[in-house]
A and B are shown apart, each in its own frame.
Chain A
Amino acid sequence: MNPTDTTEHEEIIRTEDLGKIYEENGIPVHALRGVTTIVHKGDFLVIAGPSGSGKTTLLNLIGALDRPSRGKVFFEGRDLSKKSKSELASIRLHRLGFIFQAYNLIPVLTALENVEFTMMLLGVSEAERRKQAMATLQELGIDELVHKRPNEMSGGQQQRVAIARAIVTRPAVVLADEPTANLDSTTGASLLDLMERMNKDKNITFVFSSHDPQVIQRGRRLILLHDGTIKSEQSRTR
């Protein structure tokens, strides 16, 4: 399917001929080989594919976490290849949210503080960030966890806090790398429900990289990668 099929939506991210080569033990590994695609506002997009297909690499490149070996990533019209390290950090802080497979909460902070953290980096006042963090935790139904540290929470609870951390700053896009991989299917489904609700109710754009069938099934757009190239791309109506 041609990515231009969805041009009626606002474009947030566009990749052009994106390539990434890693060196592994001195041998070049082509993780991505010329990927061109678009992420639109409100997408619930899943990048799927077998291990080593390049899905996480693509997610990292569009998330300004890594630089491509060739090609370009445009984020809200800005060419990321021309941005400095500090400017990329600023884009990640202001415009992106991240959800990781291993949750990656800050272990010495409570759930509330973890959610507040990115707002602190944004310079939001203590009172305001506390208010917003509490509201987000309540919205996700985990306000009873506010004073718990990550080691006192289950995997599902930690990932919910991670979702709260990712969305609290109202980012343009939330990038989720294998968010259900460490969770049982029931917990995974409930988290996907939650993210779907955020997508529908708040029009938050989600981009997943996953090979979990239930994530793939939920995606309204699906990009299937194979050996670093787009094998197929499809939109679904739900």
Chain B
Amino acid sequence: MIFKLAWRNIWRNKRRSVVVMTSVAVGVIATLLMDTLSRGMIYQMLYNQIGSHVAHLQIHRQGFRDNPIIQNNIPDAAVVERAVSSTPGISHYSSRILTYGLLSSAAASSGVFLIGIDPDQEGQITTIKGSLAAGTYLSGGPNEAVIGQSLAEKLGVGLGDRVVGMASALDGHVGSDVFRIVGLYETLSSEFDKSFIYIARDNAQEMLGVGDLVSEFAIRINDISQLHTIQDRLLEELGEEYEVFTYPEILPFLVLQIDLYEQSMIIFYAIIGIALIFGIINTMLMSVFERIREFGVLKAVGMKDRRLLMMIVLEAFLLGIIGTGIGFIVGYLIYLPLARTGLDLSMFSESLRSWGVGAIIYPVLTWNVIANALLIIPIFAVLGALYPAFRAGRLQPMAAIRYV
């Protein structure tokens, strides 16, 4: 009956309740869209990094990550290949040779990461092949190079032009070769496009004088929840001579950014909640002052303060939960088409690309977003009702009944 009473009480002043519920709903819609789009942006940064180069797991010789020089190559690629092939859950892998070097054109030079790849293998684990803006992917022909569009602009070269790659070889001398640009790629990160160039693995091995050695195995797995299981299995198979890293270990700042985002969103929700709390306090205070005589009667007939407090808090909770429900449904209905088409932010594409994010943001709805949206605001509504409820609880029955 307390619920029935609270429910009917909130509809005594329909206009006021609708205004409160609308403000709650608008708050929920705004936070839901902001949260899903922000998450979409951050996850896009993460997935772009995974998709363009990092993959889910990387295997190196022990110490390579701290000192990625050509001398720290994988001692026996066949051993790693056997371990990878026998580990369940791995969908594809690519063995690479990579080193830091210099790429020069007639006009300019730039420090780059030279990545020697097997084009077929790499095509299975990264998005470079699919990110070509012009030209073709590596065909296996001699001295082909695929570079980023941004790097090409920086060096003043285009398709078919020749560039010189130089890097420290295994024996300590400088290895160099001339490459013909066959393709220009454009990923969602302009910084990445300026830094990574792809050449055939055997070209790189020859230039660096490493025979058939490789520096890294990049791995994609089928089920991301198995990431650590697969890492443990590979570590067990390969022993201490090798290091196996997961993408959160390779991209700690991005993972930290996601953690920070989760925490900052709680603060953001709290700010929205605090803004709403004053609306709730105001509404509930008005509602309490209008019903002082009635509360006096309720207390006179024996209603205890705790029950009265509960009734007022329940009224605020109902206002909050209905507003939240409406806000969530409307927000979800806006989210659904956006999740399919994305939000086109082309006008900010340059600055977004410098952060590794595309011009189209796809909102991401997670259980965290749903829990935040559905719980935090009703909780603040309850908190907002405590003061008015406490005031009502302190009323003296006689004084309240006589209140004019």
Interface residues of A (CB under 8 A from B): 60, 63, 65-66, 85-86, 89-90, 92-94, 96, 98, 100, 102, 104, 106-109, 113, 116-118, 120-121, 165
Q: B297 contacts A100, CB within 8 Å?
A: yes
- B93-101, B191-199, B222-230, B393-401 - interface stretch: B393-401
Q: B301 contacts A108, CB within 8 Å?
A: no
Q: A120 contacts B297, CB within 8 Å?
A: no
| B contact face: mostly helix, strand, loop, or mixed | helix
A21 CB, nearest partner CB in chain B, Å: 15
Complex: A66 Cα to B301 Cα, angstroms = 13
Q: B1 contacts A116, CB within 8 Å?
A: yes
Q: Which of A86, A94, A98, A120 is in CB contact (< 8 Å) with B300?
A: A98
Q: A92 contacts B1, CB within 8 Å?
A: no
Contacts of A93 in B (CB 8 A): 301-303
Q: A89 contacts B299, CB within 8 Å?
A: yes
Contacts of B293 in A (CB 8 A): 102, 104
Q: Is B243 an interface residue (CB 8 A)?
A: no
Contacts of A113 in B (CB 8 A): 1, 4
Closest 3 CB pairs of A and B: A93-B302, A108-B8, A104-B297
Contacts of A89 in B (CB 8 A): 299, 302-305
Contacts of A60 in B (CB 8 A): 398
Q: A94 contacts B297, CB within 8 Å?
A: no
List 15 additional contacts besides A98-B297, A108-B5; criterion CB under 8 Å: A65-B300, A65-B398, A89-B299, A89-B305, A90-B304, A93-B301, A94-B302, A106-B297, A109-B4, A109-B8, A116-B1, A118-B302, A120-B2, A121-B307, A165-B301
Complex: A104 Cα to B12 Cα, angstroms = 16
Contacts of A85 in B (CB 8 A): 305
Contacts of A165 in B (CB 8 A): 301
Considering only CB atoms, which chain B residue lies closest to A149 in the complex?
B8
A213 CB, nearest partner CB in chain B, Å: 25
Complex: A26 Cα to B249 Cα, angstroms = 74
A173 CB, nearest partner CB in chain B, Å: 13
Q: B298 contacts A106, CB within 8 Å?
A: yes
Complex: A121 Cα to B303 Cα, angstroms = 7
Considering only CB atoms, which chain B residue lies closest to A165 in the complex?
B301
A54 CB, nearest partner CB in chain B, Å: 13
Q: List 16 A-B contacts (CB under 8 A).
A: A60-B398, A63-B300, A66-B398, A89-B302, A89-B303, A89-B305, A92-B301, A93-B302, A93-B303, A94-B302, A100-B297, A104-B293, A113-B1, A116-B1, A120-B1, A120-B2
Complex: A106 Cα to B1 Cα, angstroms = 12
Q: Is B262 an interface residue (CB 8 A)?
A: no
B179 CB, nearest partner CB in chain A, Å: 82
Q: B305 contacts A86, CB within 8 Å?
A: yes
Complex: A170 Cα to B397 Cα, angstroms = 22
Contacts of B2 in A (CB 8 A): 120
Q: Is B237 an interface residue (CB 8 A)?
A: no
Contacts of B397 in A (CB 8 A): 65-66
| A contact face: mostly helix, strand, loop, or mixed | helix
Considering only CB atoms, which chain B residue lies closest to A104 in the complex?
B297
Q: A117 contacts B301, CB within 8 Å?
A: yes
Complex: A220 Cα to B5 Cα, angstroms = 39
A113 CB, nearest partner CB in chain B, Å: 7
Contacts of A66 in B (CB 8 A): 396-398
Q: Is B294 an interface residue (CB 8 A)?
A: yes
Complex: A94 Cα to B304 Cα, angstroms = 12
Also in contact, A86 and B304, with CB within 8 A (given A104-B294, A113-B4): yes
Q: B9 contacts A104, CB within 8 Å?
A: no
B180 CB, nearest partner CB in chain A, Å: 83
Q: A107 contacts B5, CB within 8 Å?
A: no
B130 CB, nearest partner CB in chain A, Å: 63
Considering only CB atoms, which chain B residue lies closest to A91 in the complex?
B302
Contacts of A63 in B (CB 8 A): 300
Considering only CB atoms, which chain A residue lies closest to B396 in the complex?
A66
Considering only CB atoms, which chain A residue lies closest to B394 in the complex?
A85
> Interface 1/0s, chain B 280-308, versus A by CB < 8 A?
00000000000001100111111111010
Also in contact, A100 and B401, with CB within 8 A (given A107-B294, A121-B302): yes
Q: A98 contacts B1, CB within 8 Å?
A: no
Residues in B284-335 with C-beta less than 8 Å from chain A: 293-294, 297-305, 307
Complex: A92 Cα to B302 Cα, angstroms = 5
Complex: A59 Cα to B304 Cα, angstroms = 20
B395 CB, nearest partner CB in chain A, Å: 11
Complex: A117 Cα to B298 Cα, angstroms = 9
Contacts of A100 in B (CB 8 A): 297, 401
Contacts of B305 in A (CB 8 A): 85-86, 89
Complex: A120 Cα to B310 Cα, angstroms = 15
A115 CB, nearest partner CB in chain B, Å: 11
Complex: A165 Cα to B300 Cα, angstroms = 12
A25 CB, nearest partner CB in chain B, Å: 15
A120 CB, nearest partner CB in chain B, Å: 4
Complex: A108 Cα to B3 Cα, angstroms = 12
